Each structure stands twice: as structure tokens, then as C-alpha cells.
């Protein structure tokens, strides 16, 4: 990689961002594609100042992560219809003098799942009611899946289910769940609480595919137990990979080198 006066800047804004795997993934993609660009982590406790910085420095594209995916929306020139429906932006793209907000999280989840099976008509149980669940739920419904939302907090879960137009079940009734696909969109099982799992082991044999958005550890207890039960499993790196591939294509107009990006993520995670 040669840094010079023509190097294009990309980056990720959030607080914190020091743990992010996105720089490894995107810099690998830029280098493999022969693009004179660099992707940097930008710690951003103040989202308004961060957006001013993106404008002033001519940054061509930025990923947006916690805690700014929602409150960044009002600071942009435009937000596309999909991001508006999801209620969150994870991608900023510069078009001329304008900053456009988009969301690729849903694309990441659906593309990872579609590597294993067609989503149209699939019976999907989605665990969680936060921002990730909102984006994934939107994507599933866009692909024609039949969705059941399952969460611990009734008020939040029912509210999201009403917005999505799907049914809701309390996580306390997890033993009744069944379907084609089970997705964990909560942080349960993330380090250091890697011994935890969101649902009882006994129900996993009722699903063909189990996906966990957690990627530290790469194979959560949920995925270990699902694999033992005979399920196909999808780890959290796959969603991160495919949402990043969609970002890369929006920013550069080039086809994302997915295999290079997957390898870069694995190396950054030390796997």
C-alpha cells in the first residue's frame, strides 16, 4: 500500500472502535482490488463533530457503529428509504458534496443465511429486540421469510414485532420454539460470558440452521450445541463480512473480494 496525495480515505466511527475488525477487512479488500485507499478507525465520542470531520476531510465512505447508528441519521444530507424503515444507519457514502446514510446490516445477515438456504417461506425465529434484530428482521421479511420475534423484555419485543408486522413470543417460552432457522441477535454468549446460551439445548434439533451474530468467541456455546444437534451453523463473522462487502461495493463501485475479506477477518481474530 502506498500512501500519497491521491489516497482516498474511508473509516469507521463509533465509541469505542479500537476492537473493530473492519479496518483489517476493508484494507485487505482495497489492497486486493488495487485501489489507492485506506480505511481507518476514528474514535468518535461526539457524533456531530465526527460528521463535520467526515465532511471537512473529504472522507468518501464511513462505517457507523455503536452508539451512533440512530442519532447519526439527523446529521446527514439524505437517508435512503431502507435505512429509514430500519431506523438506523451503518454506512455513510459521499455523493458529490452530500453525505448519504444507508444500512447494509440487513444485507449482511440475509446473504450469510442465503449461503445455506432460500429464505422465501422459511420459518425463522429471531432472538432479540435491539438494533441488530431490527435490521435482520427487516431483511428476513424483505426476503419473504415468516418471522417470529422472541425476546426477554415484553414491551420492547412487542413494539418491534408490531413495527415489523410479525408475531412475538417471550424468551421464557423458548422451549416451545421451532422452525427452519434460529438466529441469535443478542449479546448472550459474547466474551467473557461465553458459557451462556440464549435458549435451551433441547430445542436446537427442531431447526436446520442456527446463526449467531456474536463473533467473539467465533463458535459460541449456542453454535457448539447446535452443531452437536446436527444443525448447519453460521458464525458472526459471516454477517460482518457480507455487510462489509456491501459497503465496499457502495463506496468503490467494484465487486468486493469476499474471500480476501474473509481471510483478513479470520487473521485479525487470530483464527
Contact (Cβ atoms closer than 8 angstroms) between residue 261 and residue 25: yes
Distance of CA 8 to the CA centre of its chain: 24
Positions marked active-site:
69
pLDDT of residue 169 exceeding 70, the answer is: yes
Cα separation, 151 vs 174, whole angstroms = 9
The answer to whether domain 8-103+238-269 and domain 107-234 are alike in fold is yes
The pTM score is 0.91
pLDDT of residue 122 exceeding 90, the answer is: yes
Domain ranges of the chain: 8-103+238-269, 107-234
Contact (Cβ atoms closer than 8 angstroms) between residue 176 and residue 201: no
Contact (Cβ atoms closer than 8 angstroms) between residue 150 and residue 127: yes
Cα separation, 9 vs 83, whole angstroms = 23
For domain 107-234, say whether CATH 3.40.50.720 is its number.
yes
What's the confidence (pLDDT) of residue 177? 94
pLDDT tens-digit map of 14-30: 999 998 999 999 999 99
* Closest C-alpha among 25, 11, 18 to residue 242: 25
pLDDT tens-digit map of 40-65: 999 999 999 999 999 999 999 999 99
Cα separation, 60 vs 55, whole angstroms = 9
Class of domain 8-103+238-269 as given by CATH: alpha beta
Amino acid at each position: 500500500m502506498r500512501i500519497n496525495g491521491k489516497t482516498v480515505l474511508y473509516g469507521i466511527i463509533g465509541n469505542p472502535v479500537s476492537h473493530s475488525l473492519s479496518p483489517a477487512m476493508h484494507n485487505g479488500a482495497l489492497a486486493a482490488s488495487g485501489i489507492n485507499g485506506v480505511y481507518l478507525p476514528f474514535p468518535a465520542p461526539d457524533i456531530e463533530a465526527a460528521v463535520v470531520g467526515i465532511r471537512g476531510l473529504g472522507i468518501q465512505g464511513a462505517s457507523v457503529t455503536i452508539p451512533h447508528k440512530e442519532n447519526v441519521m439527523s446529521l446527514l444530507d439524505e437517508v435512503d428509504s431502507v435505512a429509514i424503515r430500519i431506523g438506523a444507519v451503518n454506512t455513510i457514502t459521499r455523493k458529490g458534496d452530500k453525505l448519504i446514510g444507508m444500512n447494509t446490516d440487513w444485507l449482511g445477515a440475509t446473504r450469510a443465511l442465503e449461503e445455506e438456504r432460500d429464505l422465501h417461506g422459511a420459518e425463522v425465529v429471531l432472538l432479540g429486540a435491539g438494533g441488530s434484530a431490527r435490521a435482520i428482521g427487516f431483511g428476513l421479511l424483505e426476503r419473504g421469510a415468516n418471522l417470529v420475534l422472541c425476546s426477554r423484555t415484553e414491551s420492547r419485543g412487542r413494539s418491534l414485532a408490531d413495527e415489523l408486522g410479525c408475531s412475538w413470543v417471550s424468551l421464557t417460552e423458548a422451549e416451545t420454539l421451532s422452525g427452519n432457522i434460529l438466529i441469535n441477535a443478542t449479546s448472550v454468549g459474547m466474551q467473557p460470558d461465553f458459557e451462556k446460551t440464549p435458549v435451551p439445548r433441547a430445542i436446537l434439533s427442531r431447526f436446520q440452521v442456527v446463526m449467531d451474530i456474536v463473533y467473539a468467541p467465533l463458535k459460541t456455546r449456542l453454535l457448539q450445541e447446535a452443531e452437536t444437534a446436527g444443525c448447519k451453523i453460521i458464525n458472526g463473522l459471516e454477517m460482518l463480512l457480507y455487510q462489509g462487502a456491501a459497503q465496499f461495493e457502495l463506496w468503490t463501485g467494484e465487486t468486493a473480494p469476499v474471500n480476501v475479506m474473509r481471510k483478513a477477518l479470520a487473521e485479525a481474530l487470530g483464527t
